Amino acid sequence: MKVLGIETSCDETAAAVVEGGKHILSSIVASQVELHARYGGIVPEVASRQHVLTILPVLERALGEAGVGLEGVEAIAVTSGPGLPGSLLVGMSLAKALALARRLPLVGVNHLEAHLYSLWLAGNPPPLPALALLVSGGHTELVLMRDHGDIQPLGRTRDDAAGEALDKAARLLGLGYPGGPALSALAESGRPDRYHFPRPMTNKPGLDFSFSGLKTHALLTLEKAPDNPQSRADIARAFVDAVVETLVIKCRRAMEETGIRTLVAAGGVSANRQLREHLTSLAGNMGGEVYFPRLEFCTDNGAMIAYAGYLRLKAGQQEPLSFSARARWNMEELSI
């Protein structure tokens, strides 16, 4: 079955055609990063207007590269939440129009669940049950993925997401937006022992996170530090080390508490080199294994939506044309 996946929940306009849940025939992503960079973050109205301008060219390229016309598409999957309401509506309106015009089955996909399925787009999907760390610009969640459609939340951030924290620290250091990758690159030349930032909520039981305090810590340190490139690199290092070690401590705790040794990371921050390295050693030390998505599928894309939609269609799910977006939609509310 050739599934068209459409994603417009945040600041990426994406479409992909995936066949049989496995073969990625095309995956087109148009990023709005440059548009939002001048504001230092995502402006929802700008995002939805840009989705309107970009979605049809993205769709045409996705169909063209897949070598299928609309006639070749057999089902449509679209992100229906969580996300920015105005942005979600652009993708959903297109999906509904195509489903109506071509009389195709239509399925709504949870964006967070789809991030987990980015792992299944590589040749080596993880066995289930698995512990999954979802770390992106909008979300930081640790969940137990028992089976497809059976997800138990174990912990989540109480304030900023890990990616959001990295982006805010990068902005403080003048690295532009979104600064996660630039911050971790700068951290590579920072000295590990110059500054030590806290590992928030690690000395209390539980698997929740809180990253907003780290930003204040970085600001206070920056104000007192000598104004030179080495100090900025040292602050970047302390910040990245604090975020990465906090995530690793919670993953270790989840492994110990559940006895599960299969670990999965997904979302934009799972592309991070330092995080990958530390989760790999954690899994090694615990006698387990860690799985990462291919780099291109860590950030938002249409292929993960098509794959998640394919599984839901196979399980018999289908949406009426009247179905609505869900700006807030937790994974524990999912079922197959």
Residues that bind Zn ion (CB under 5 A): 136, 300
299, 14 in Cβ contact below 8 A? no
Between 233 and 313, name the residue whose CB sits nearer to ligand KG4. 233
83 interacts with, out of ligand KG4, Zn ion, none, CB within 5 to 8 A per kind: none
Cβ 236 to Zn ion shortest distance, Å: 24
246 interacts with, out of Zn ion, ligand KG4, none, CB within 5 to 8 A per kind: none
109 interacts with, out of Zn ion, ligand KG4, none, CB within 5 to 8 A per kind: none
In the bound complex, which residue of the shown chain has the CB atom lying closest to ligand KG4? 268
Which residues contribute to the site for ligand KG4 (CB under 6 A)?
10, 136-138, 163, 166-167, 178, 180-181, 184, 267-269, 271-272, 299-300
Between 125 and 176, name the residue whose CB sits nearer to ligand KG4. 176
91 interacts with, out of Zn ion, ligand KG4, none, CB within 5 to 8 A per kind: none
- DSSP state for residue 294 in the 8-state scheme: -
- DSSP assignments along 44-83, one per residue: HHHHHHHHHHHHHHHHHHHHHHHT--GGG--EEEEEEESS
115, 7 in Cβ contact below 8 A? no
Between 41 and 72, name the residue whose CB sits nearer to ligand KG4. 41
Question: Which residue in 260, 240, 75 sits closest to 168, CA to CA?
Answer: 240
Tokens 């040749």 belong to 123
Strand partners, 17: 4, 26
Cβ 300 to ligand KG4 shortest distance, Å: 4
13 interacts with, out of ligand KG4, Zn ion, none, CB within 5 to 8 A per kind: none
* Gap between the Cα atoms of 165 and 90, Å rounded: 28
Cβ 229 to ligand KG4 shortest distance, Å: 20
Cβ 302 to ligand KG4 shortest distance, Å: 13
Number of H helices, E strands in the chain: 10, 10
Cβ 68 to ligand KG4 shortest distance, Å: 26
Instruction: Give the list of residues 6+ apart from residue 120 with CB closer than 8 angstroms, or none.
Output: 21, 307
